[in-house]
Amino acid sequence: MTWTDQNIVFLISLPRSGSTLLQRILAAHPDVHTSPESWLLLPQLYAMRQGSVFSEYAHTTAAAAISEFCSHLEGGEDAYYRRVGELAVRLFADVSPPERRYYLEKTPRNNLVLDELLRAFPQSRIIFLWRNPLACAASIIETFGKGRWNLFKSAVDLYDGLDNMTCAARDYPDRIKAIQYESLLKAPDETIDELLAYLDLPVAEQLSEQFASIQLAGRMGDPSGTREYSSLSQAPLEKWKETFAGMARQRWARRYLEWIGPERLEVMRYSHADLETELESIPTRWAGTGSDLALMGYGYLERNLQLKFARYLVRTRKQKRVRRRYF
């Protein structure tokens, strides 16, 4: 079988939205193959974005040059993105067993390149997995920060990623199938059957139970969900409230909800008023406030002083000295 972009399914979400869980469930179907997060498309789909990437080769200059090159292509930038899509299809096909019908690509930060992705893969199926955004934020804190404040590291996901997803869901309703993480846990069989119908796949029995046997060994991805959950459980649905019991965290959550606003939440099929009510119902505690405020202050400095770039320069300088490239 010769693969085209019709054989590629994209699972798009914010981090900690349950995407690894859904990926494993769908991969339990005999017609679906997947692998750990590839991050394969991000460099190619960022190629013409000026000012978005820091690199040794001067990405802004490269982006301008690539854009100029595309002006000589028949079809312009659309032709470039189609060729990128064709390359990716061949690579995804190469890692998939020949009997599979679909390759499921799940890299959360693909939410940053949705416009380009839609141009590169005009016939691919796209699944959006929504989750209560406060629950996503809480899970980022617990999983990647081990309970310590770290959301400044995921600001691009929580703001740009969410905005890109809501815009795409609004602008391309015929191309995107959206489900909620909460529905997947509360009504798994109905939700899974709905997705299989969207993919034109035959119903496979007990996918919600068989997913435990699917292991995605790799450096990238979510280690905790695979480790902690071998069956579907509604336990994660209320965990976020404990994480946001701190005074400083509640203040951040209120401002974040205000930024998201009712319109974006309506696209995601959540109620702004209900989330506000749930947040206000959480008993406030002062424990840990000092640490949270200190880390929030550090996060502000890191974003505005570009401290991560300074760390990058120091690290690469050391590497070059080891290789005796610089004195």
- Is 186's pLDDT higher than 70? yes
What is residue 7's predicted lDDT score, i.e. its pLDDT?
98
pLDDT in tens, 29-38: 999 999 999 9
> Taking residues 119-140, what's their average pLDDT?
97
More confident: 162 or 230: 162
pLDDT in tens, 269-302: 999 999 999 999 999 999 899 999 999 998 988 8
- Is 316's pLDDT higher than 80? no
> Taking residues 221-238, what's their average pLDDT?
64
This prediction's pTM: 0.89
C-alpha distance across the termini of the chain, in Å: 55
Domains defined along the chain, listed by start: 5-202 (3.40.50.300)
More confident: 54 or 211: 54
pLDDT in tens, 80-97: 999 999 999 999 999 999
What is residue 302's predicted lDDT score, i.e. its pLDDT?
80
What is residue 303's predicted lDDT score, i.e. its pLDDT?
78
Q: How confident is the model at residue 214 (pLDDT cuts 50, 70, 90)?
A: low
Q: Are 90 and 3 in contact (CB under 8 A)?
A: yes
% pLDDT > 90, the chain = 76
Quote the mean pLDDT of the chain.
Answer: 89
Distances (CA, A) of 27 to 22, 146, 176, 183, 218: 8, 29, 19, 19, 16
What's phi and psi for 102, nearest 5 deg?
-130, 150
Q: How confident is the model at residue 309 (pLDDT cuts 50, 70, 90)?
A: low
Q: How confident is the model at residue 222 (pLDDT cuts 50, 70, 90)?
A: low
Q: How confident is the model at residue 232 (pLDDT cuts 50, 70, 90)?
A: confident
